[in-house]
Amino acid sequence: MSRPFLKMNGLGNDFVVVEALSAPFAPSAEEVRAICDRTSGIGCDQLVVFEPAEGADARVRFWNADGEAVGACGNASRCVGWLLMQASGRGSAIMTADDRTLQAFAAGDRRVTVDMGKPGLDWRDIPLEEEMDTRGIELQVGPIDEPLLHTPGAVSMGNPHVVFFVPDAQAAPVREVGSLIEHHRLFPEGVNVGFAQIKAPDRIRLRVWERGAGLTQACGTGACAALVAAHRRKLTGRKAVLELYGVELEIEWREADDHVLMTGDIAVEFTGVLP
């Protein structure tokens, strides 16, 4: 059976989105890689499928371009939330992803806020291989006496993140060390790697090496993790604008309930049918 799809993006972080509310869709890892391949396939950072869910508008599943299933993607959740709100005519939508419940809200024309829930801050939440203070874990890149990068914060947003604080995000060695850190022994499930430059107490410049996808234009959960990690180090307040390749996300770590909210634009690029 032919399967329609939407090509969408959240601030340049792009997805192939498949609706499976009426008929199941369970791609193999090989099929995911074929769809995501930018040369021979449709090309995207992630494949996203939304399907029926009890007590919610949809259950959302995510696969990285390498074919691995992952637990969360903030920008993709905003895209699916927008589609669900368009279909229902309501100003909000509820999604489930693994063991998390995500709520999306309309925030303007093709602009969506997603409540990403509480961040995981215990070393077992990330998870790490051994117990550490996640405000600054024992990890460095480069010579012991003069490391290039060191002591990143670690945060789970439904997927694992480490965030290095750097003087210049544009000059950070994202491609050179991203894969090395992603597969470091400290992270049994791999890790997304953020390079954050604090420009002001309410503004962060961020680049992200995404687990299973490489350098991406924007990473929603990475932006959430960067704000949480920065606030825990007293580098920012609880709300900041995250700059990612010329586009911006608004992130707030709400004090009242400990939830992280992410707001930004979404775009529909084109539609098609999976081969």
List residues with catalytic annotation: 73, 219
Q: Which residues of 218-241 are buried (b: 16+ CB within 10 A; e: fewer)?
A: bbbbbbbbbbbbbbbeebbeebbb
Both tokens of 203, joined, read: 């503004």
Residue pair 268/82 in contact by the 8 Å Cβ criterion? no
Please give the Cα distance from 252 to 196 (Å, whole number).
Answer: 16
